[in-house]
Structure 1
């Protein structure tokens, strides 16, 4: 995809999701704030709520190198190991949902907001999971400022374990 078309798609998705447009992708420059790092993640992977194409690779099946643009090395490694487990066993291993939507089916997610919390290392994302649902989903991103910029070290969900806890849990 040409860089102009890619930039246009990112801008369109960002505006659709209510995100402020940021012209650079995560690998082009380290994020200057924790919020900006989370915004970039959604700009690069929000297409899953709009485009139904099995040929496109969602976030959790990306390479460890790609995951490292958004996640700390330890969390990127855990995500990659879980995907490798799925590839080897052809079964669900630890993760059975899209971690940035806390959903197996994020279609219809809208009114997405990214907001810094009181602590500079916490970012809250809220959105409505379905057009017909009055419910609001809230996800908290625990961020770490690394030498390569802000990275996600864990994602905390309502009602179940965090992403790191799910990926490090011993399997029976």
Structure 2
């Protein structure tokens, strides 16, 4: 009886816990999703990764029919192939109300990478609102500039 009550409580609490995730736990889960072979933060699950405004820019930058568009890489890993991605650290630098800045450090093969994620808290939880890495100063700016040139 107690187990059933605990299980029911956990099921009811799960959405609350997900909504109350910290920026660090959100980003950690984001990178651990790459452990699965079907990880695709730009595809079906993009709404759970990006803020609505950045998601609109990401979708506009993807070329139709599988052709290469302006967004020809995965901005979360700053790569084209995330095979073997190993998360090294996630550090929350700043949290200001519904905004946060989180730095992720990870390794793909022998290459260490650092990605700076700007997050906003939506009603659905934390979402990526901008991405900066060595190759891209601001994903939002890159995509917005690309959209203006159309």
TM-score (norm 1): 0.64
Counterpart CA distance in 1 for 2:58 and 2:124 is 19
Equivalent residue for 2:56, pick from 66, 77, 81:
77
Matched, 1:39 2:28: yes
The C-alpha deviation readout for 1:51-103, integer Å capped at 9, x for no partner, is 3xxxx4622122xxx322222110111222223xx225x42111111111101
* Residues 31 and 87 in structure 2, CA contact (< 8 A), matched pair in contact too: no
Distance 1:111 1:70 in 2: 17
Structure 2 residues not aligned, in runs of 5+: 1-13
Question: Using a 3 Å threshold, how does the CA distance of structure 1 residues 149 and 32 change in structure 2: closer, same or farther?
Answer: same
Distance 1:107 1:33, change over 3 A: same
Query: Which residue does 2:42 correspond to in 1?
Result: 60
CA distance in 2, matches of 1:160, 1:98: 11
- Secondary structure of the structure 1 residue equivalent to 2:28: helix
Gaps spanning 5+ residues in structure 1: where?
1-23
Q: How many residues align?
A: 131
What secondary structure sits across from 1:156 in the alignment? strand
Cα deviations by residue, 1:97-116 (Å, 9 ceiling, x for unpaired): 11111011222322432221
Output the TM-score relative to the length of structure 2: 0.72
Q: Which has the higher strand share?
A: 2
Q: Secondary structure of 1:35's match?
A: helix
Bigger Cα Rg: 2
Q: CA deviation at 1:123?
A: 0.7
When residues 41 and 156 of structure 1 are mapped into structure 2, their CA distance, relative to the original with a 3 A threshold, is: same
Q: Which residue of 2 aligns with 1:125?
A: 104
